[in-house]
Amino acid sequence: MFSSIQNHLLEVSSAGYNASNQFPDALAHYFEKLNLPALSISLPAVSGAGMFHRHKEMLSTLKETQYFELMPTITVFKLK
């Protein structure tokens, strides 16, 4: 399962987004307690996908104001 690393940041304005990304993490922990295999990976921003793909101006601003890098899409597809 994949979630977002954004989930681990404390931003009130992103509460709904964070809650939806908390679900795979919580589900993996629950499965672990039942001795069932599960893994949730919190991904950083991925190039060509997600919010920054749809709102490129936000990405430009972040790159200018702080060190910010995107994970290449191909890297995500190679995760097994």
The pLDDT, as a whole number, for residue 71 is 74
Q: What is the pTM of this model?
A: 0.57
35 plus 8 within the same structural domain? yes
- 38 plus 50 within the same structural domain: no
17 and 31, same domain (yes or no):
yes
> Are residue 38 and residue 51 in the same domain, yes or no?
no
Burial (CB count <10 Å: 0-12, 13-18, 19+), residue 31 = middle
Q: What is the mean pLDDT of each run of 10 residues along the chain (80 residues)?
A: 63 71 89 94 75 72 69 74
Terminal alpha carbon distance of the chain: 11
